[in-house]
């Protein structure tokens, strides 16, 4: 038997940058995410450093991210189904436990001197698969906890925790990895401890009943999620364009060790500095994005950020030294934060409660694509040069954004249209100018208002 536990959600002043943290349950989720992202950002850099140490090959760097991406590609659609059909707390706890074990296992292997390249590939597979479940559950849980009216603000706060840790984590990981007494192995163990702290926070989350009680074949639910997106042209355009922007543009991160160590001839600590520069830019973008993420200008801001992201990646390929590269990377950080925050907010706002996990899984397939694209891009970099490959990555992101804007214009969409729509309308072209009062959020309820503990 289940007991109904009623919660009254705090409704802060509109536009307050930190307003969602006044919701106690979301605050727990946010702190858990902070620890998790700290561990993730450390491992992201450590994975590249260890792969470079073991192979000194750009193609090998790509292989590591390919394993991550393939695993995430397979797991993410199933993760979307799990987020819709299972208690989200259970999904988060299980996936976070696997992430922690992978980090601790790699740390033990390196400390004992038994690390091999195949172990790195195996850890990438484990973490990629876990993220395929973690991402959709965490993002859709956000809407359950704060409701639709604070959704953009909460997503922006999530991006703040992600990018804020990028200021500290990569620099700390790079510095510690470069110190002989600590090294990559002990730094991996530290990342594992952050993952354990995240796991403890996830255990404190409320046990919200799943949106769907479906027991049918999960692959049928995946197909239903794809049909749901395909039947809604604005949502379809957003998902497809985001896939290409992130899949190619974000790959600049995977080749940072090659650019800094290989091209600039600098040490591991400088790789951390580059990641920090990107994170500083992303954090600088937080306040303006968070305060406007639930406003009618959100989609216009997303479009501008997407174009800026592609241009920044192209310019990075022209950077003559570390300091210019850091300046460009800070700009990329601003654009990346704005684009990711706003595109995820818009996708959730267009989705009904029964499909939000699967919609988010499709949005997050872009990161699986990012991992998969790293391998061919690594081979391409060895053929035409790393800097030319940066230009190719940025150009693809620009083409994807250009196609998105062109298709929106052909559909009669105004780029300043509001984010909020009626997700129950099955086929309507969402954000259509024919909708009454497009700036008024609809469905301003979250499952936190009628949360059930089982």
* 3-state secondary structure (DSSP) of residue 3: strand
Residue pLDDT, tens place only, 324-355: 999 998 898 888 878 888 888 888 778 877 78
CA torsion sign for 210, 215, 217, 223 is negative
Summarize the confidence of residues 64-80 as an average pLDDT. 82
Please, which pLDDT band fits residue 311 given cuts at 50, 70 and 90?
very high
CA distance 201 to 159: 18
CA torsion sign for 266, 104, 337, 400 is positive
Tell me 440's DSSP state. Answer: S
3-state secondary structure 40-91: HHHHHHHHHHHHHHHHCCHHHHHHHHHHHHHHHHHHHHHHHHHHHHCCHHHH
Summarize the confidence of residues 432-437 as an average pLDDT. 36
Summarize the confidence of residues 151-175 as an average pLDDT. 74
- pLDDT in the model for residue 435: 37
Please, which pLDDT band fits residue 213 given cuts at 50, 70 and 90?
low
Indicate whether this model's pTM tops 0.85.
Answer: no
Residue pLDDT, tens place only, 134-143: 888 888 888 7
Strand partners, 451: 5
| Domain ranges (residues) in the chain | 15-210+224-427
The CA-CA-CA angle for residues 376, 399, 153, to 5°, reads: 95
In whole numbers, what is the pLDDT of the chain averaged over residues? 78
Task: Copy the structure tokens of residue 127.
Answer: 């973490």
Residue 184 has a CB neighbour count (10 Å cut-off) of 23
- pLDDT in the model for residue 14: 47
Strand partners, 5: 451
The matching CATH number, chosen from 3.10.20.740, 3.40.630.30, 3.30.710.10, 1.20.1250.20, for 15-210+224-427 is 1.20.1250.20
- pLDDT in the model for residue 312: 94
* 3-state secondary structure (DSSP) of residue 186: helix
DSSP H/E element including 134: helix 117-146
Angstrom distances, CA of residue 155 to CA of 17, 65, 143, 162, 196: 11, 26, 9, 11, 23
Q: Where are the alpha helices (DSSP H) in 350-385?
A: 356-384
Residue pLDDT, tens place only, 80-98: 888 888 888 999 999 999 9
CA distance 11 to 441: 14
Please, which pLDDT band fits residue 100 given cuts at 50, 70 and 90?
very high
Q: Among the listed ranges 180-189, 234-243, 313-322, which one has the minimum average pLDDT value? A: 180-189
Contacts from 430-436 at CB under 8 Å and sequence distance 24+?
430/232, 430/233, 430/234, 430/235, 430/350, 431/234, 431/299
Task: Copy the structure tokens of residue 184.
Answer: 């990559």
Summarize the confidence of residues 370-395 as an average pLDDT. 86
pLDDT > 90 in the chain, percent: 17
Q: In this structure, are residues 250 and 336 in contact, taking their beta carbons and an 8 Å threshold?
A: yes
Q: In this structure, are residues 380 and 360 in contact, taking their beta carbons and an 8 Å threshold?
A: no
Please, which pLDDT band fits residue 439 given cuts at 50, 70 and 90?
very low
Residue pLDDT, tens place only, 44-66: 778 878 887 888 776 777 788 77
Burial 262-301 (b: 16+ CB within 10 A, else e): ebbebebbbbbbbbbbbbbbbbebbeebbbbbbbbbbbbb
């Amino acid at each position: 038997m289940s007991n109904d536990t009623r919660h009254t959600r705090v409704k802060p002043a509109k536009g307050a940058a930190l307003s969602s943290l006044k919701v106690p349950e979301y605050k727990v989720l946010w702190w858990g995410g902070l620890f998790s992202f700290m561990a993730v950002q450390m491992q992201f850099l450590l994975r590249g450093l260890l792969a470079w140490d073991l192979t000194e090959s750009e193609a090998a760097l790509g292989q590591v991210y390919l394993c991550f991406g393939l695993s995430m590609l397979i797991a993410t659609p199933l993760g979307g189904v799990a987020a819709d059909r299972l208690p989200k707390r259970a999904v988060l706890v299980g996936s976070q436990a696997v992430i922690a074990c992978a980090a601790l296992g790699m740390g033990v292997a390196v400390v004992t001197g038994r690390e091999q390249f195949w172990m790195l590939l195996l850890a990438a597979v484990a973490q990629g698969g876990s993220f395929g479940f973690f991402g959709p559950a965490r993002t859709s849980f956000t809407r359950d906890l704060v409701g639709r009216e604070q959704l953009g603000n909460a997503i922006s706060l999530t991006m703040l925790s992600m990018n804020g840790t990028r200021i500290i984590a990569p620099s700390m990981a790079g510095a510690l990895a470069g110190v002989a007494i600590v090294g990559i192995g002990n730094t991996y163990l530290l990342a594992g401890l952050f993952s354990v702290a995240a796991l403890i926070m996830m255990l404190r989350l409320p046990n919200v009943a799943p949106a769907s009680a479906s027991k049918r074949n999960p692959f049928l639910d995946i197909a239903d999620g794809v049909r749901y997106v395909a039947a809604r042209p604005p949502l379809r355009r957003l998902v497809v364009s985001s896939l290409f922007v992130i899949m190619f543009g974000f790959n600049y991160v995977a080749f940072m060790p090659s650019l800094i160590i290989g091209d600039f001839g600098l040490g591991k600590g400088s790789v951390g500095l580059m990641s920090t520069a990107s994170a500083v830019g992303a954090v600088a973008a937080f306040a303006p994005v968070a305060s406007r993420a639930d406003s009618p200008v959100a989609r216009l801001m997303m479009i501008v950020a997407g174009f800026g992201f592609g241009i920044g990646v192209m310019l990075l390929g022209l950077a003559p030294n570390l300091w210019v590269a850091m300046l460009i990377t800070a700009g990329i950080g601003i654009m990346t934060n704005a684009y990711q925050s706003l595109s995820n907010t818009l996708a959730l706002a267009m989705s009904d409660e029964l499909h939000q996990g699967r919609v988010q899984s499709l949005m997050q397939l872009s990161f699986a694509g990012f991992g998969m694209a790293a391998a061919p891009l690594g081979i391409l970099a060895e053929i035409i040069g790393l800097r030319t490959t940066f230009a190719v990555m940025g150009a693809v992101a620009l083409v994807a954004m250009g196609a998105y804007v062109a298709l929106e214009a052909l559909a009669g969409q105004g780029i300043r249209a509001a984010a909020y729509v009626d997700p129950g309308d099955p086929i309507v072209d969402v954000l259509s100018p024919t909708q009454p009062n497009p700036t008024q959020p609809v469905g301003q309820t979250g499952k936190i208002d009628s949360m059930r503990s089982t």
